[in-house]
Amino acid sequence: MTKSRGRGPTIAKDINRRLVYQLIKQKRITSRVEVANELKLNKNTVNSIVDEMLAHDFIIERGPQETQTAGRKPIIIHFNASKKWAIGIQLTSTVIHWTVTDLHAKPIHSFSVPLQACTTEHAVLAIEAGVRELLRTYPIDSCIGMGIGVPGLMNAETGTIIRSSHLNWNNIPFLKLLSDKICLPMQLDNSVKLASLGEAWHGLGQGVSNFVYCYFGNGVGCSIMMNNMILRGDVNAAGELGHIVTEPGGELCGCGNRGCLETSISLPAIMKRLKPYSVSATHQAPLDAMEWIAAELKQGSSPVVEKLDQVGEQIGQALSYVTNLLNPKLIICDGPLMEVSDYLFPIIEKQLKARSVSSTVDKLQLARSELFPLASCIGAAANVIQAWEEVLIAFD
């Protein structure tokens, strides 16, 4: 009884601290008066938290605000997003993408490192080496931690990769393997789900509560953001856009079904159909393949035009199901295939209009991601920052 009574004011202060921090961060530039008014908090409470943030450089004061009214002008405060930094990485079978971000998950420094072999040992070694390298430049005491995006189905709570056909890994306690080597807070999640978080924090999804993120490359992925939350489903498997059947009785898919979207519009599938027209074997790599497709499209090569018309129609068909079911405001398309988004979008939009209920499609926006190839890394960093902010009890 005594204990809970004594802890009451501390809990209230912890909650207020997070509220004040979040509001100042969201507004980026504000004043103590504005924070107190918006949060309907006592001025002394706000002052004491702002003083705490100032003392630890989470905010910077920048002179009085210019106002029309007479009287004392409020001092402007700026959120200092570079006070702390986070690491976001995306693991693929051939390369690890890295980014270092500030507290808004804005990339400060990004790079990609080839992965020698797609084994857990090589991946852990490469990640450990990359972290060691970064800690030579950035101070560990201001590092929030590292977020990791991995393709496949996983248990984000235990950090176990249940199944990744892309990496060919099953039941790997990846977070445990990493934490045996790296002493930083870490968060593991599916790379496409993290990419949608990246869009929400630093991309086209900012300020959009309901949107869908789609990735078109060697595979087809999708993550659904509804009411500002990633829709996960019962076993974290929501968003399997690539396995919507768009060609009944079509080619056999890795999932065991026939005619899934992925079997006809993934880059390997596109290149397989165009193989007789492609002269070079180097077109197997996604970016090389896209360079060739884009060049052929520019010249009006009819097999490429014909195939892309079909690709656009099938994507539009699959997205119309998504639109009818979920009514997103925005669909963000990402991945190497979007190199030809200028050609594909009108075809996709036509299908969307033809196949979706008008109330769901009238205000729908279709857009190409501006974060390629970093959406997932940025989201991975955002994930670890979000986890840190949820338990923020002191500014140090």
Residues that bind Zn ion (CB under 5 A): 243, 253, 255, 257, 260
Identify the DSSP state of 386: H
Q: How far is the CB of 240 from Zn ion (least distance, A)?
A: 8
CA distance 325 to 157: 28
Between 78 and 243, name the residue whose CB sits nearer to Zn ion. 243
Residue closer to Zn ion, measured from CB, 237 or 295: 237
333 exposed, middle or buried (CB, 10 Å; 0-12, 13-18, 19+)?
buried
Residue 94 CB, shortest distance to Zn ion, in Å, is 22
Q: CA 285, 282, 369: angle at the middle one, nearest 5?
A: 30
Considering the complex, state which of residue 95 and residue 153 has its C-beta at the smaller distance from Zn ion. Answer: 153
Cβ neighbours of residue 134 under 8 Å, at least 6 residues apart? Answer: 87, 98, 100
Measured from the CB of residue 257, what is the shortest distance to Zn ion in angstroms? 5
Q: Least Å distance between CB 374 and Zn ion?
A: 27
Sort 81 into a burial class: Cβ within 10 Å, 0-12 / 13-18 / 19+. middle
Measured from the CB atom, the residue of 191 and 246 that comes closer to Zn ion is: 246
Q: CA-CA-CA-CA torsion for 29, 34, 39, 44, nearest 10 degrees?
A: 110
Q: Which is nearer to Zn ion, 186 or 253 (CB)?
A: 253
State the CB neighbour count (10 A cutoff) for residue 289: 24
Q: 212 in helix, strand or coil?
A: strand
> Which residue, 246 or 278, has its beta carbon nearer to Zn ion?
246
Place of tokens 């993290």: 194
Q: How far is the CB of 384 from Zn ion (least distance, A)?
A: 32
For the CB of residue 244, give the shortest distance to Zn ion in the complex, in Å: 9
